[in-house]
């Protein structure tokens, strides 16, 4: 009881402090992942306004994109920046490279009026089974070097290092038997010891959707939070949802290494809305709302009652139409908002229902469709090519555009390609089979998109001004040389 009241007092204090210092109300530990693998990117300023408007006080990035970080400056929003797996080998051997990364990608954004960078993610799921161990030996050495670079920059107290792990790092049939994969035991021991020494949490990504998608025997209701007719019995403990079961499996694995109290952050969790039968709006809303309720209630799990995870980052903020579809056609549809910042369903993150992005700049209301007067028997190659560049995943089985007919399919593919090409008229030719229309061809839930305008207009503007300024300087200087 004493512990609980200290916790409440200190969290109230932290909330008040954040409110006063940053002007952002952080009422919950709910954050979002902001990925940028999209051909139709909102400007970073629009995205940051969307976060503010929805009082989302924490954001996780997958890299250290300068435009995103600049837009986050002064917002008070807590930021996790990421080091891609491909860079770990370099940082594991070179302290000068890690020094440079910290100065270019962390230090320069910090300070008064800067970005509120709280975490650096060293790699992203580097122990994923499908990587066959190619990154795993670099993780701890890279962390040690980055930590030293942070210390040199006087940031070791402010910025914490973490390693977001996929839940496939540990295995078990029941939560109480959880353990890290045997080949990871030594690395995990070093990693968790390091985290513990530096006051960092363990970050894990948990995906009940994938459990359901990959395993037809997985009890449907166990993926959600409304109770289950197939609860998991584990000695005296009963689990009614996959999230709690997975969380406690991790706690068991950490306990086996001697760290039963290690704080846990959920780095990614969510539910996609398109591209597969179980990926739909109803399921995504039920899952995410159930998750948020579960987390905000602080009811905890059987192995950690009364304490939720420290923070939870939803996957994801926006749809990303340029992601690889290797995991499945749903992969481009994880957003709680569509690519253009429109809420897909009503969801309450603890601050009222989601609010749409404002001042989104669309291309003109124009679409490219199959010309109805043409014989389309020769269209197959155009269709394939268009869909190899643009996103056509909603056409597949279980997708929102599956069932719009053959002609509908072709129009959809043509339009996706046309929007990808920013409505360049030549991108709607398709040897005379395409045609621009001003009538929205969307049918039912199947939306034919209109792209958003170039995301870095403002940056381009600055670059332009910069270029002109330099040009003027050169002219002026040559002039001076000439007259002298
Ligand atoms: C900073 O991060 C960006 C984006 O991840 C990366 O491209 C760049 O190489 C990094 N800078 C250094 C010095 O490593
Ligand atoms: C949506 O997904 C849920 C969860 O997998 C599934 O039970 C349901 O049948 C799906 N709904 C539709 C309309 O496909
Ligand atoms: C439309 O395209 C999808 C994806 O390629 C395919 O599964 C479906 O059968 C097509 N529909 C028709 C009527 O051709
Ligand atoms: C933003 O601008 C840069 C340089 O002008 C360009 O390389 C990049 O592709 C642009 N990004 C997007 C999303 O348009």
Domain ranges of the chain: 25-332, 367-437
> Mean pLDDT for each 10-residue chunk of the chain (484 residues)?
40 41 50 96 96 97 97 98 98 98 98 97 97 98 98 97 98 96 98 98 98 94 96 97 98 98 97 97 98 95 94 98 96 98 97 95 97 92 97 97 96 98 97 97 97 64 54 63 56
What is residue 12's predicted lDDT score, i.e. its pLDDT?
42
What is residue 7's predicted lDDT score, i.e. its pLDDT?
41
Distance 81 CA to ligand 1 centre (A): 11
Atom of ligand 4 nearest to the CA of 456: 1
Q: Tell me which of 376, 377, 391, 402 to substitute to probe ligand 3's pocket, judged by most ligand atoms within 8 Å of the beta carbon.
A: 402
pTM recorded for the entire structure: 0.88
CB neighbourhood size of 361 (10 A): 13
Atom 12 of ligand 1, residue of closest alpha carbon: 101
d(CA 243, CA 232): 12
Please list every protein residue whose CB sits less than 6 Å from any atom of ligand 3: 395-396, 405-406, 409
Distance 388 CA to ligand 3 centre (A): 15
Q: Which residues, in sequence order, are CB contacts of 171 under 8 Å at separation 6+? A: 178, 179, 181
Distance 84 CA to ligand 1 centre (A): 9
Radius of gyration, CA atoms only, the chain: 25
The closest of 42, 48, 81, 62 to 456, measured between CA atoms, is 42
Q: Verify cis geometry, omega within 30 degrees of 0, for the bond prior to 316.
A: yes
Measured at the CA of 166, the angle between CA 165 and CA 170, to 5 degrees, comes to 95
CATH 3.20.20.80 fits 25-332, yes or no: yes
The closest of 82, 79, 61, 148 to 118, measured between CA atoms, is 79
Atom 11 of ligand 1, residue of closest alpha carbon: 101
Atom 3 of ligand 2, residue of closest alpha carbon: 278
Atom 8 of ligand 4, residue of closest alpha carbon: 456
Atom of ligand 2 nearest to the CA of 398: 14
Closest-approaching ligand to the CA atom of 403? 3
Distance 57 CA to ligand 3 centre (A): 42
Q: Tell me which of 47, 421, 456, 457 to substitute to probe ligand 4's pocket, judged by most ligand atoms within 8 Å of the beta carbon.
A: 456
Atom 4 of ligand 2, residue of closest alpha carbon: 278
109 Cβ below 6 A of ligand 1: no
Q: Which residues, in sequence order, are CB contacts of 370 under 8 Å at separation 6+? A: 376, 379, 407, 410, 411, 414, 433, 434, 435
Atom 7 of ligand 2, residue of closest alpha carbon: 278
What is residue 484's predicted lDDT score, i.e. its pLDDT?
54
- Please identify every residue annotated as catalytic: 125, 268
Closest-approaching ligand to the CA atom of 274? 2
Distance 82 CA to ligand 1 centre (A): 10
Distance 444 CA to ligand 4 centre (A): 34
Closest-approaching ligand to the CA atom of 61? 1
d(CA 393, CA 200): 38
Please list every protein residue whose CB sits less than 6 Å from any atom of ligand 4: 41, 454-456, 459-460
213 Cβ below 6 A of ligand 1: no
Distance 395 CA to ligand 3 centre (A): 6
Atom 4 of ligand 1, residue of closest alpha carbon: 64
């Amino acid at each position: 009881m004493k512990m609980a009241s200290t916790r409440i007092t200190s969290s109230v204090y932290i909330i008040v402090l954040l409110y006063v210092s940053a002007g952002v109300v952080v009422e919950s530990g709910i954050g979002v992942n902001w990925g940028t693998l999209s051909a139709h990117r909102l400007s970073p300023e629009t995205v940051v306004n969307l976060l503010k408007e929805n009082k989302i006080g924490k954001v996780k990035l997958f890299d250290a994109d300068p435009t995103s970080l600049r837009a986050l400056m002064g917002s008070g929003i807590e930021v996790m920046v990421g080091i891609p797996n491909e860079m770990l080998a370099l940082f594991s051997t070179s302290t000068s490279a890690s020094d440079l990364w910290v100065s270019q990608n962390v230090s320069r954004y910090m300070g008064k009026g800067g970005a509120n960078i709280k975490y650096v993610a060293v790699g992203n799921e580097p122990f994923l089974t499908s990587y066959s161990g190619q990154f795993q030996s670099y993780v701890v050495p890279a962390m040690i070097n980055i930590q030293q670079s942070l210390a040199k920059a006087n940031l070791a107290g402010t910025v914490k290092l973490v390693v977001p792990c996929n839940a496939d790092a540990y295995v078990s049939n029941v939560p109480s038997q959880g353990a890290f994969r045997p080949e990871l035991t030594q690395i995990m021991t070093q990693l968790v010891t390091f985290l513990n020494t530096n006051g960092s949490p363990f970050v894990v990504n948990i995906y009940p959707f994938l459990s359901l998608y990959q395993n037809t025997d997985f009890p449907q209701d166990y993926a959600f939070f409304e109770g289950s007719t197939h609860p998991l019995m584990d000695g005296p403990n009963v689990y009614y949802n996959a999230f709690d079961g997975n969380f406690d499996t991790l706690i068991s694995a950490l306990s086996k290494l001697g760290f039963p109290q290690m704080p846990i952050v959920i780095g990614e969790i969510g539910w996609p809305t398109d591209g597969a039968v179980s990926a739909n709006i109803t399921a995504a809303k039920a899952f995410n709302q159930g998750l948020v309720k579960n987390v905000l209630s602080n009811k905890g799990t059987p192995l950690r009652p009364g304490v939720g995870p420290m923070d939870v980052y939803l996957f994801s903020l926006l749809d990303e139409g340029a992601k690889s579809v290797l995991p499945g056609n749903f992969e481009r549809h994880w957003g709680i908002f569509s690519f253009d910042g429109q809420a897909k369903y009503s969801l309450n993150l603890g601050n009222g229902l989601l609010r749409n992005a404002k001042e989104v700049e669309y291309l003109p209301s124009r679409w490219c469709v199959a010309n109805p007067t043409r014989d389309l028997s020769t269209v197959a190659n155009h269709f394939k090519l268009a869909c190899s560049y643009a996103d056509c995943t909603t056409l597949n089985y279980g997708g929102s555009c599956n069932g719009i007919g053959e002609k509908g399919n072709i129009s959809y593919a043509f339009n996706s390609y046309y929007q990808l090409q920013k409505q360049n008229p030549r991108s709607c030719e398709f040897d005379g089979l395409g045609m621009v229309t001003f009538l929205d061809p969307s049918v039912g839930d199947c939306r034919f998109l209109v792209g958003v305008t170039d995301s870095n207009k403002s940056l381009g503007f600055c670059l332009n001004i910069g270029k002109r300024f330099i040009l003027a300087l050169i002219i002026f200087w040559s002039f001076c040389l000439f007259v002298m």
